[in-house]
Amino acid sequence: MNKIQKIKSKFATIPAVHKILNMPEVKQLISVKGHLMVTKAIKLVQSEFRDVIKSSNKNFTDQKIIDNFIPQLKNRIADITKEKFKPVLNLTGTVLHTNLGRASLPSEAIKSISLIASNPSNLEYNLVTGKRGDRDQHIEEKLCSLIGAEASTVVNNNAAALVLILNSLAKRKEVLVSRGELIEIGGSFRLPDILTSAGCKLREVGTTNRTYINDYEEAFGPRTGLVLKAYTSNYKINGFTAEVKEKDIIEFTTRSNIPFIIDLGSGSLIDLRKLNLPKERSPAQVLSKGVDLITFSGDKLLGGPQCGIIAGRKDLISIIKKNPLSRAFRCDKMTIAAFTALLKIYEEPERAINEIPTLRLLKRTQKQIHEIAERVYPEVKSHLSTIAIVEITKCKSKVGSGSLPVEILLSAGLKILPKIKMRKSGIFLNDLSLELRKLPVPIISRIQDGAILLDLRCLEDEKLFIKQIKKLSVQGFKK
């Protein structure tokens, strides 16, 4: 027998699916978890046994395999059915972390979701006429009065908002975009790709660092559909640059009778200086200059549910709403419930700063965060004392999600360094951050300057954090 034949003959000791399915204990499992789930798990365990046989010279007896099969099968089923989508503690220092779900919702929004989700509602029903209504009816008036727009509509996210606008107003036409604004927002959002998928042709104008109004005028022709400008908030072009003034673009698009659209990315409904952040133009200010439409995300600086807001000219919004794609991109009732509750909070700006978690966290000062660090420090230090040195440190957090440039938020946190100058401190840091992620409520940290950094800007539940830290196993690190 050659080696392959030998392995194959050992594989034959792994019981077949039908044989396992007939075992009384497995029949019991099927009655609870269902046939498909159990069969899938059996196949996984079989392949695990094959891997063990391949990589070891051990001879398994039939009985040994049978004895191990059922416990392993139960483990696999438990893995498959385990709750995998769960809350985490975001100590990365990035307040609006796209991978961690961006904005957390205010409690009023949660209440509203729960009420609407558990009952029939007038989602698309006009209670006066008793006829079909429009789901935008719950949002449009409030939103328009907050940002001074003629009309507005809300869709699944900002990317959908852009595709919808482009497809409604410039399908098979050219869209003029400055070369300095052909942005990627991380992950899957690249402006040129969005344009193409909306059925538009990208017409780049100017250069990466300099664009003039003449560039737009020269690119303009019978095939021009609209001008699009995107706020390039996650990077900055410095040095020898020239950006066309919006006022000049508005003058040009009005004269040429084409719409001017601005993708704000993040739009705030309060004056950011109240959060000690640099002033940004608000959606209201941008619209008041005469821009035809703006778009922004609901779950960035706004601090609400994932959605994309389109606001501006009424005639354009009504064309957009007639596009069949708007049916495909519409928000669900839970989003609308959360968004209406959010807008209600914004009617009182002072309330907004305290009740909307995103704003509350952004407003925290370094001193306040330092105090949190001082409160949690003793427990963290004592739990990790055998393996690490823990220090209170100053650091910088980010707004995140392409909202506002560079690191500008002064923050504080805990720095965790390996105790002994281990040669493999990189491995220590990776292992420890993995252990932090494996906790029942995972702690997401960042590694910076040879240490694990827990930026405490976003820590609100200190008790929960301490409870997790105490569950961290330090055994594997003692060497």
Ligand X SMILES: *Cc1c(COP(=O)(O)O)cnc(C)c1O
**Token duo for residue 472:** 């961290």
What is the rounded CA–CA span in Å between residue 107 and residue 342?
Answer: 10
Calculate the alpha carbon distances from 414 to 92, 120, 270 in Å.
11, 48, 31
Q: Does 230 bind ligand X (CB under 6 A)?
A: yes
CB 316 within 8 A of CB 259: yes
Choosing from 46, 297, 397, 445, the residue that interacts with ligand X (CB under 6 A) is 297
Question: Could you tell me which stretch among 75-83, 88-96, 225-233, 446-454 binds ligand X (CB under 6 A)?
Answer: 225-233
Using CB under 6 A as the binding rule, the residues of this chain from 181 to 210 that contact ligand X are: 185, 189
The DSSP result for 8-70, as a single string, is HHHHTTSPPHHHHHTSHHHHHHHHHH-HHHHHHHHHHHHHHHHHHHHH------HHHHHHHHH
**Token duo for residue 237:** 């072009």
CB 429 within 8 A of CB 422: no
Q: How far is the CB of 167 from ligand X (least distance, A)?
A: 15
Q: How far is the CB of 158 from ligand X (least distance, A)?
A: 3
Q: How far is the CB of 307 from ligand X (least distance, A)?
A: 8
Choosing from 402, 415, 443, 468, the residue that interacts with ligand X (CB under 6 A) is 402
Question: Could you tell me which stretch among 59-67, 206-214, 218-226, 262-270 binds ligand X (CB under 6 A)?
Answer: 262-270
The set of residues, in sequence order, having a beta carbon less than 8 Å from that of 218 and lying 6+ positions away, is 205
Residues that contact ligand X, how many (by CB under 6 A):
15
Question: Could you tell me which stretch among 153-161, 414-422, 446-454, 470-478 binds ligand X (CB under 6 A)?
Answer: 153-161
Q: Does 454 bind ligand X (CB under 6 A)?
A: no
Choosing from 20, 53, 159, 341, the residue that interacts with ligand X (CB under 6 A) is 159
CB 13 within 8 A of CB 60: yes
Using CB under 6 A as the binding rule, the residues of this chain from 307 to 336 that contact ligand X are: 308
User: Closest CB to ligand X among 65 and 228?
Assistant: 228
Question: Could you tell me which stretch among 38-46, 49-57, 258-266, 431-439 binds ligand X (CB under 6 A)?
Answer: 258-266
- The CB-nearest residue to ligand X is 265
Nearest to 23 by CA among 81, 74, 75: 74
Q: How far is the CB of 52 from ligand X (least distance, A)?
A: 44
What amino acid is encoded at 183 in this protein?
I
**Token duo for residue 323:** 């596009």
What is the rounded CA–CA span in Å between residue 401 and residue 94?
Answer: 8
What is the rounded CA–CA span in Å between residue 459 and residue 273?
Answer: 22
Site for ligand X, rule CB under 6 A: 157-159, 185, 189, 230-231, 233, 263, 265-266, 297, 308, 401-402
